Amino acid sequence: MQWTSILAIYALVWIMCGFIMLPFGIRTHEEQGLDKVPGQAESAPANFRPWRVVIRASILAAVICGVFVANYHYGWVGLNDLNLYDPPEAWSGNR
């Protein structure tokens, strides 16, 4: 696998992990006992820290991308392992 492919896969996985990490650790103004600004949404975060999200997403994306590249290199799980349309006979009950 070329390094540019690994970089592209990491970027896609990083974006996915970034969106997954957004809601973790967020508290609303009501949960922290702070006053809301007039017109503010009920769900607006009071303690949003974007760098914490970036760091968490980067670490998670590096792990997932590393496992993906290792699977590509060593071939642990292939397309034949994921074939759900033609299950083995042991699954269908025909013995």
Residue 94, pLDDT > 60, answer: no
pLDDT single digits (tens) 61-92: 999 999 999 999 999 998 777 777 776 666 66
| List of residues 6+ apart from 54 with CB closer than 8 A | 18
Residue 8 has what pLDDT? 97
Range of the domain at 61: 3-92
The number of folded domains in the chain is 1
Cα 61 to the chain's mean position, in Å? 7
Rounded to two decimals, what is the model's pTM? 0.76
Handedness of CA 78, 80, 81, 85 (dihedral sign): positive
Alpha carbon distance 8, 10 (integer Å): 5
Residues 30-71: tens digit of each pLDDT = 999 999 889 999 889 998 999 999 999 999 999 999 999 999
